[in-house]
Amino acid sequence: MPRSLPALISRPLPAVAPPPADPGARVLRQELTAGLPARLDLDAVRGLVLAVPLGVARAVLAADPSAVVFSTAEPGDSTAFRDPAAAWPRLTLVVTGAIGTTVPVVAGVPVRLAGPPGTAAVEVTVDELVLTAGSLRSPGRFGSRLSLRWRDLALASGDGPAHPVGDPGIPVLLSQLGEEKS
């Protein structure tokens, strides 16, 4: 008689609560009224550029401006391959004018973006992104918006931890005790 898989696999898994809010994370919400590519300022020296490499501009030009081209709210089939002809937004880190890492936008997945060598990185989690055909064509209020959380991943110094002074957990060498008695 063949054995069956456990009942847990045949039942849908319960909904997982979202992770707790990171106290060090900063929230950025922005209406994308200037069109794409869009510059998103994180602080005085760092920013993100949201862009969509198209390659099929004719379809975007022919579409209704309010038609949603990309949305993180519409989960797709996780087993299906991504359509290479579809618009897939990307985020690029820019630090003082120098281009850093570029990553595709995936909702709810924290990604680390590094700047040029020697600069600090940031961790970005996109909560919501809605892009309409109108925002890909020109500036205007077409309903495109972005909401993300980011946090600074500042580089630590290469010196290592401070050396302990008078740590009671380190036993005193007997040779040092002999020197102290004399």
Q: Note down the domain range covering 100.
A: 28-75+83-156
- Flag whether 170 is in a domain: no
- Flag whether 94 is in a domain: yes
- Flag whether 20 is in a domain: no
- Flag whether 100 is in a domain: yes
The 10s digit of each residue's pLDDT in 104-114 is 998 888 999 99
* Nearest of 143, 148, 177 to residue 66 by alpha carbon: 143
Q: What average pLDDT does this structure show over 158-181?
A: 59
179: left (phi over 0), alpha (psi -120 to 50) or beta: alpha
- Flag whether 6 is in a domain: no
- Flag whether 179 is in a domain: no
DSSP character string of 137-160: HSSS-SS-EEEEEEEEEPPPPTT-
Q: What is the dihedral of CA 24, 29, 32, 34, to 10 degrees?
A: -70
In this structure, the chain runs to a length of: 182
0.85 exceeded by the pTM? no
Query: What whole-number distance in Å separates Cα of residue 16 and Cα of residue 174?
Result: 58
Q: What average pLDDT does this structure show over 149-176?
A: 65
pLDDT for res 70:
83
- Flag whether 8 is in a domain: no
- Flag whether 180 is in a domain: no
Q: What's the number of domains the chain is made of?
A: 1
